[in-house]
Amino acid sequence: MKFGVFDHMDRAGPDLGRQFDERLRLIELYERAGFHAYHLAEHHATPLGMAPSPSVFLAAVAQRTRRLRFGPLVYTVNLYHPLRLIDEICMLDQMSGGRLELGIGRGISPYEVGYYGVDPATGPERFAEAMQVIMKGLTGKRLNHEGKYFTFKDVPMEMRPVQQPHPPLWYGANSLESADRLAKQACNTVVGMRADGVGQFSARYRAAWKALDRADEDLPLIGLSRHVVVGDTDREAQSAAKRAFVLWYDALIHLWRAHGVGLPRQMIPAEFEPALEGGYIVAGSPSTVRDRLKKDNEIAGINYCLCRLAFGDLSFEESSRSIELLAKEVMPAL
């Protein structure tokens, strides 16, 4: 079992410069605590994502850490010109000595891509072609491609990533059916479901992996992401988690609410108590958090425990205390 951190970088207050500074200090603590990787979301025109250009923030992460792996989860590929994204991927991998984890996707919000003039209806097709281009660019010396959305002829690929043939791929999965495709692509995956749903996904992924005659020890990471707050007592941790969750959820639904529609799927309960009961949030003393994570990790069949440790208005001190208790009293037992 490896542990990682997922971060929406949702708005924590009016001072964005302070938020960036404190988040980088937390990321230094993630490295000291032994986390495998830090994953940053990409969102636009919404308080859910105050780091809409992940590469900019991750360049700072590359310089503030030495062992911690990091990457976007995910780059919203349809908002990038493929050549520009290839360059950014190579730069980050080179700047970090080969620590980039490459999350890719087309984005969940039609409003965000729509603001950039991208038709959401073309999303899947455009994304598939863009990924073909990006993989060609990362693995070849010259880029040639002729498609519906992109055409390139003999473009020199001067930059190379440290990790060959390319940095590890990550994808956010929301359906059981995607397990077969992602296993075939050897893609690390974070699954947006309850623990029992993730259990079905991971079982199907493992079966597809085995059917391809691939070794168990080479199995990619299959992760489940949860809000995690650890405190000295259940009452302390759950009080902080509830306060911060209200603000995070308000940011989550911001654009959907502004357009008068609900979320496309029920990602997480709107109320704190059902979210806590369902395991979307794990908050409490070290023993409470340890027992709940252990139970749900086993149900989910995962090998990657992804934690959201900074969200809403959690203070630097509250998040750093969570990291300390998680590293000392929870992670070793799992």
Which tens digits make up the pLDDT trace of 214-259? 999 999 999 999 999 999 999 999 999 999 999 999 999 999 999 9
Which tens digit of pLDDT belongs to each residue from 56-110? Answer: 999 999 999 999 999 999 999 999 999 999 999 999 999 999 999 999 999 889 9
Q: Does residue 54 register a pLDDT over 70?
A: yes
Q: Note the pLDDT of residue 9.
A: 98
pLDDT tens digits for 95-136? 999 999 999 999 889 999 999 999 999 999 999 999 999 999
What are the tens digits of pLDDT across the range 299-313? 999 999 999 999 999
Instruction: Return d(Cα 95, Cα 106) in angstroms, integer.
Output: 26
Per the structure, the count of domains in the chain is 2
What pLDDT is stored for residue 91 in this prediction?
Answer: 98
- What pLDDT does 38 receive? 98
Task: Give strand pairing partners of 292.
Answer: none
Task: Say whether both 44 and 185 belong to one domain.
Answer: yes
Distance CA 54, CA 60 (A): 10
pLDDT of residue 27: 98
Distance CA(136)–CA(54), nearest Å, equals: 22
With residue 157 as reference, give the H or E element that holds it: none
First to last CA, the chain: 7
* Predicted pLDDT of residue 264: 73
d(CA 331, CA 334): 5
Backbone CA torsion sign across 295, 301, 307, 312: negative
Residue recorded with tokens 């994953």:
39
Q: Can you give the residue range of the structural domain that contains 295?
A: 2-70+169-333
Specify the pLDDT at position 287: 98
CA distance 205 to 186: 10
Residue 265: the pLDDT is 67
Q: State the CATH number of the domain containing residue 49.
A: 3.20.20.30
Helices (H), 65-194: 82-95, 110-115, 123-139, 178-184
Instruction: Provide mean pLDDT across the span 284-291.
Output: 98
pLDDT at 266 over 70: no
**Residues 125, 197: one domain?**
no
H or E element in which residue 293 lies = helix 286-300
Cβ atoms of 38 and 323 closer than 8 Å: no
Rounded CA separation 22/137 (Å): 35
291 with 212, same domain: the answer is yes
Q: By percentage, how much of the chain surpasses pLDDT 70?
A: 99
pLDDT band for position 137 (cuts 50, 70, 90): very high
Segment (H or E) for 154: strand 151-156
Contact predicate 224/190, CB 8 Å: yes
Q: Are 71 and 36 in contact (CB under 8 A)?
A: no
Q: Work out the number of other CB atoms within 10 angstroms of the CB of residue 139.
A: 14
DSSP line for 95-109:
HTTS-B-EEEE--S-
Both 134 and 221 in a single domain? Answer: no
d(CA 84, CA 103): 16
Q: Are residues 107 and 133 in the same domain?
A: yes
> Is residue 14 domain-shared with residue 89, that is, in the same domain?
no
Structure token pair of residue 288: 């409470």
Q: What percent of the chain has pLDDT over 90?
A: 95
Give the whole-angstrom CA distance, residue 334 versus residue 326. Answer: 11
Question: Whole-number mean pLDDT of the chain?
Answer: 96
Residue 13 CA neighbour count, 13 Å, CB half = 13
Whether the pLDDT of residue 194 is over 70: the answer is yes
| C-alpha span between 82 and 103 (Å, rounded) | 14
Q: Taking the complete model, does pTM exceed 0.85, yes or no?
A: yes
Give the model's pLDDT for residue 249: 96
Whether residues 190 and 306 fall in one domain:
yes
Residues 307 and 177 occupy one common structural domain: yes
Whether residue 223 is found in the same domain as residue 294 = yes
Q: Which of 140, 168, 196 corresponds to the end of one domain?
A: 168
- With a CB cutoff of 8 Å and minimum separation 6, the contacts of 317 are none
Last residue of a domain, one of 135, 168, 201: 168
168: number of Cβ within 10 Å: 17
User: Please, which residues have CB within 8 angstroms of residue 310's CB and are 6 or more apart in sequence?
Assistant: 7, 12, 23, 26, 319
Place of tokens 């000595």: 97
The DSSP output letter for 14 is S
Spatial CA neighbour of 12 closest among 59, 54, 48: 48
Residue 174: pLDDT band (50, 70, 90) is confident
Same domain for 125 and 100: yes
Average pLDDT over residues 275-301: 97
- Tokens read off for 128: 């598939």
Of the candidates 112, 139, 168, which is a domain's last residue? 168
Asked if pLDDT for residue 40 goes beyond 90, the answer is yes
Instruction: Tell whether 177 and 277 lie within a shared domain.
Output: yes
The owner of tokens 């391809």 is: 212
Are both 18 and 98 inside the same structural domain?
no
